[in-house]
Each structure stands twice: as structure tokens, then as C-alpha cells.
Chains A and B, each alone.
Chain A
Amino acid sequence: MEPTQKVKQFLGEKMLKVLQAPDSVQAIQIEPRTGVSLENIDGFKILNRGPMLSGDQILWLKSLIMDEKSYDFVNVKRHPMDPVIAYQFKKGTDTVHVLVSFAGNLWQFSGFDQKSIEDNDPVRASLVALAKELFPKDKEIQALGDKP
């Protein structure tokens, strides 16, 4: 799917390049609020390096990221970013992280010294479904519902 100008502008050319054609994507569980830790992603402590995403799962996630309808560019919530999963996109030596906060329905895209946060309410159900598929034994993720 070719992203709209709005999505291109939001993600930026460099991040877009990695997100559109990654060599691999890994799902990583992170701790929302533990502060600084040696092994972290954007300051969030790594709890568990989860599975690599299959081709279909990468396509699914990419289709969500590239679709303007997945974002709410109009409204900005005053809810903190509390991510529990980070998707690590790798392409060659470049890395982009997509952090998903089910609390508040937010996602954060970071890479190349850039960080962008947006609301993702329209695709919460899809993101929850993907997380449940990737972490079938995690009770907290399996308990996620339609609403935060």
C-alpha cells in the first residue's frame, strides 16, 4: 500500500524506507514505566525479546502503518505513552521502532534520531489481535480488550 502524503510527512522519508521494506521485524515486550535500564528501547526497559514476525504478519502490520485511516491526526489525548510492545524493524544497518501503547491507544515511531507519536484508536482491534497472536501465553496481552 502506498502511503498518503500525510503519512509520508508524519513518518519521514528515512523511517518510511525501513518500514516499507524491512529485512526483519521482531516483537519485543517492554516495561511501560521502569525508567532507565541498560537494555532498553527509547528508554523503556526490555522484558522479553519475542518472536520474529512472519511474512504475513509483517504485511499486516505494514498495512496498518501505511494507512492514513489508522491514525487520528486531528485529536491529541493527554494520556501518557505506556508501551508494552515494540516492533523492531531492521533494514541493513538501519533500525526503526514502533512502540505500541494499548493504554491511551497511542503509537510511537522512532529512528534516525526522530520520534513521532500519534493516536491509533481506529486500529486498536487489529493491533490487539496481532499482539495476541505473537504472545499467546502472556496473560496481560491475552486479557486486552476492545477498549483501553
Chain B
Amino acid sequence: MKRIIVAALFALGLSSSLSAQTLHFLIVADTADQSIGSSVIADLENMQNKAREIAQNTGMRLNLKVLKSPEFNYNSTLAAVQAVNPASNDTVFFYYSGHGYRTRETKTQWPNLYVKTPQPGLEFSKVMQILESKNPRLIIALGDLCNSFSDQSSRSTNSRAFAEIQPQNYKKLFLQYAGRVYASGSKPGQYSFAMDDGGAFTNQFLQALANEVRADDPSWKRLMAVATKSIYIGSADQKTQDPIFELREGATTVANVTQNPTNPPSVQEQQEIQEVVQDDTEEQEEYQEEELCGDLNKLVTAMKELDTALKPNMRMQRGDKLYQALENFNTAMKGVAEGYGDRKLTREVRRLDSSLMQTNLGSYKQSLKNLIDYFSGVGKQQGCRF
């Protein structure tokens, strides 16, 4: 009995402590830039959605702040970072999407956030220092920006997309983990690239996170190892984009890919990263062989049934039962698209969503058919028989 009471008290205490935690999510986005603005806007939208998803799945209160153009500048960015006021058990997530660079004088491996004045912009390491001084339980600071001197992504499809999100995985990563997760889109001397649907690094990070929240045993180490895998670009001057990261628990660096010319990763570190990436690939291959065809078959069959059930003469209004049912279906499809990470699929799911918003059943059915064709094609490519 005593044990039960202790356990109950512990659970009560834990749950009240958990519910009191806050996710401070600060997004800084250079949305008005001439050349990369549209890509940054896509990042902004993706990260806002991710912030809500993390809060929803962890039960943390969300304190979301967005700083974008035209308010975005050196002073406003610094002020926003300084204004973050976490309790000791809170999570702070800082995310920057925009231009970046480094100079020959830059001492750290981290780039500078580009602001026109004053030179040399705002150092990413300074943002980290300010957040460190507040000492929350967990800090995640990501920057999708160039690390090049200023003086299409080939995205692998993700088989785990069909597995379900595990809310406890979100809790393990964002609520129960204490440490520092720092990353930027490219190693010193390199460019980061903007894609139509967001930054190459941001997309890879989001895909890695989508994987991890569906995994059996989620870990930041594996997540960041996958998120910072070399990204094939194929530009004449830069074949790949190589993100960097550092993962710390207390004073100990538990994993990193620093790529710093003055402090190259040890052979052991390289092996560790290689191992976790290898593990991830093996798990995906295993899943692919054993379950992918079955899941695809179920998905295509369910979509065909839905298509048959939707009659062109049906009436639908916002909020009615049919609308809600299709809304739920769309939410599920968004999750699949996010995890699968293919632009064509994302586009089709957006069309599906847009048709629903317009309560246009004819257009909805057409988008649904396109999706059926899409997944049937994926099945054929994978050699599935259905």
C-alpha cells in the first residue's frame, strides 16, 4: 500500500511538474529577403506547426514568439533572445532561418546571422551564450543559414512515415531530456541552400524529428546524427551541404559533428555517428521489407473506399460530420506527407486540404484520386503486389 501511495504521490508530483513546464519557442525568420524569402516563409510555417505539435504531444504550455520581416533586425533579434524567460525545468527552442556567413576572424564553428548593420551581424554563438545564461533544462538552437566566408535536395523517402507518432517520444525528447542541442545548416566555409519548400537543413531536421517520434527508442543523439547527414546539392562549386551539431549533457559533449578545421572530430566520434546513421538506415530497410507493402495496401484500399463513399451530389458544410471526418483524414495525410518528405506528395496533400477548405467535393475527390495514384506508384516502385 505504501508503495502505491508513494507511486501515486510521485506520479501526481510528476504530472503537476510536467504540466507546469513551458516550451519557449522563438522563431526568427528573414521572410522579406529577395532571393530566399519564399523558402524562409515555408520554414516559418513548418516550424510553427512543429512547435504546436511538440506542445500538443508533450502537454507543455507553448510560448511561441515569431520575429519576422520587417521587424527582424539586429536589435529586435537580440532583444527577443534576451526576453526569453524560462524556468529551470523549461525547454527553450530557438530557430533562425535566413542568410548567414562567417568571417576569417570568426572564432567558433558557428556562423553569423545576417543583418545589414552592424557588422559582422549577430553571432549564433552569442545567441547560445545568452540562452545558456538562463540555464533552462533543455536548449535547442538551430540555424538554417550559410556558414560560408563573406569577405534540390536529394531527400530520401522515409518509410517510417506510416508508423504512428508516439506522444511519449515527444515527451522523452522535449520534456524529460536535459541538455543542449546546437546545430547549423552547414560547416564552416560552406553554403546552406534554400529549397522551394524550405531550407534543405530545416527539411532534413524536420524529417529526422518525424522519424524519431515514431521510433521505438527516441534519442537526440540519433535524431541529430540523421538531421545532420550530408545533403547532396550538386552545385558546381559545392556538391554537398554538411550540417554541424553539438549535443551536450551538463558539461559533457555526448555527440557532435563539428567539422571545425582547428578541432576535427575524433575517429571514435566519427565512428559513433556512422553507427547511429547506419542503425537508422537498417531499421528503415527492415521496415521497408517487412511492413511497407502491407501498410501501403491498407492505405490505398482505405482511400479507394473513401473515394467510393464520397458521392458528387453529397452536401458538405464547414463543421458538419462529413467535413470533420475529411478533416481528420487530411490531418493524417499531412502527417504521412511530413514524414515521407516528398514534394509531390506534400503538394497533393495541400490541394486536398485546400479543396476541403473550399468545401469543394469534386475537387477533393480529384485530389484523392491523385493521391491514390501516387501511393500506388510508390507501391510499384517498391515491388509491392496489390
What 1/0 flags go to A17-60 for Cβ under 8 Å of B?
A: 00000000000000011110000000000000000000000000
Expressed in whole angstroms, the Cα–Cα distance for A78 and B185 within the complex equals 10
What 1/0 flags go to B291-330 for Cβ under 8 Å of A?
A: 0000000000000000000000000000000000000000
Q: B100 at interface (Cβ–Cβ under 8 A)? A: yes
Q: B216 at interface (Cβ–Cβ under 8 A)? A: no
Q: Is the CB of A103 within 8 A of B149?
A: yes
Q: Is the CB of B36 within 8 A of A122?
A: no
Q: Is the CB of A81 within 8 A of B236?
A: no
Q: B381 at interface (Cβ–Cβ under 8 A)? A: no
**Known contacts A35-B117, A103-B150; is A78 also within 8 Å of B34 by CB?**
no
Please choose the segment from B85-93, B190-198, B351-359 that sits at the chain A interface, where 4 or more of its residues have CB less than 8 A away.
B190-198
**Known contacts A82-B150, A103-B149; is A76 also within 8 Å of B117 by CB?**
no
Q: Is the CB of A80 within 8 A of B99?
A: yes
Q: Is the CB of B116 within 8 A of A77?
A: no
From A75, A103, A116, residue with most partner B Cβ within 10 Å: A75
Number of interface residues of A (CB under 8 A): 29
Residues 29-70 (chain B) with a chain A CB within 8 angstroms: 34-36, 39
A64 CB contacts on chain B under 8 angstroms: none
Main secondary structure of the interface of A (DSSP, over half): loop
| Cβ of A125 to closest chain B Cβ, rounded Å | 11
Q: Is the CB of B101 within 8 A of A79?
A: yes
B236 CB contacts on chain A under 8 angstroms: 72, 121-122
Expressed in whole angstroms, the Cα–Cα distance for A124 and B235 within the complex equals 14
Q: Is the CB of B150 within 8 A of A78?
A: no
What 1/0 flags go to A81-121 for Cβ under 8 Å of B?
A: 11000000000000000000001111010000001111101
From A76, A80, A122, residue with most partner B Cβ within 10 Å: A80
Q: A136 at interface (Cβ–Cβ under 8 A)? A: no
Q: Is the CB of B152 within 8 A of A80?
A: no
Q: A1 at interface (Cβ–Cβ under 8 A)? A: no
**Known contacts A103-B150, A115-B34, A121-B235; is A76 also within 8 Å of B39 by CB?**
yes
What 1/0 flags go to B247-288 for Cβ under 8 Å of A?
A: 000000000000000000000000000000000000000000
Q: Is the CB of B35 within 8 A of A148?
A: no
**Known contacts A77-B193, A78-B98, A121-B236; is A103 also within 8 Å of B36 by CB?**
no
Please choose the segment from B140-148, B154-162, B365-373 that sits at the chain A interface, where 4 or more of its residues have CB less than 8 A away.
B140-148
Expressed in whole angstroms, the Cα–Cα distance for A27 and B108 within the complex equals 36
From A35, A78, A79, A103, residue with most partner B Cβ within 10 Å: A78
Expressed in whole angstroms, the Cα–Cα distance for A107 and B39 within the complex equals 19
Expressed in whole angstroms, the Cα–Cα distance for A33 and B146 within the complex equals 17
What 1/0 flags go to A120-145 for Cβ under 8 Å of B?
A: 01101000000000000000000000
Q: B290 at interface (Cβ–Cβ under 8 A)? A: no
B144 CB contacts on chain A under 8 angstroms: 78
Q: B199 at interface (Cβ–Cβ under 8 A)? A: yes
A77 CB contacts on chain B under 8 angstroms: 146, 148, 191-194
What 1/0 flags go to B218-244 for Cβ under 8 Å of A?
A: 000000000000000111110000000
From B146, B185, B235, residue with most partner A Cβ within 10 Å: B235
Q: B217 at interface (Cβ–Cβ under 8 A)? A: no
**Known contacts A35-B116, A35-B117, A115-B34; is A75 also within 8 Å of B148 by CB?**
no
Q: B94 at interface (Cβ–Cβ under 8 A)? A: no
Q: B170 at interface (Cβ–Cβ under 8 A)? A: no
Expressed in whole angstroms, the Cα–Cα distance for A35 and B116 within the complex equals 7
| Cβ of A72 to closest chain B Cβ, rounded Å | 6
| Cβ of A13 to closest chain B Cβ, rounded Å | 20
Q: Is the CB of A104 within 8 A of B148?
A: yes
Q: B105 at interface (Cβ–Cβ under 8 A)? A: no
Q: Is the CB of A33 within 8 A of B117?
A: yes
B151 CB contacts on chain A under 8 angstroms: 103
Q: Is the CB of A79 within 8 A of B117?
A: no
Expressed in whole angstroms, the Cα–Cα distance for A81 and B148 within the complex equals 12
Nearest-neighbor residue (CB-CB) of B185 within chain A: A78
With A78-B199, A80-B99 already in contact, 18 other A-B pairs whose C-beta atoms are closer than 8 Å: A72-B235, A72-B236, A74-B234, A75-B234, A76-B194, A77-B194, A78-B36, A78-B99, A78-B192, A78-B194, A79-B191, A103-B149, A104-B101, A104-B146, A108-B34, A116-B34, A148-B148, A148-B149
11 contacts between A and B (CB under 8 A): A75-B193, A77-B146, A77-B191, A78-B36, A78-B98, A79-B99, A79-B146, A80-B99, A80-B150, A103-B101, A106-B35
Which 6 A-B residue pairs are closest in the complex by CB-CB distance?
A: A80-B99, A79-B146, A76-B194, A77-B191, A117-B35, A103-B150
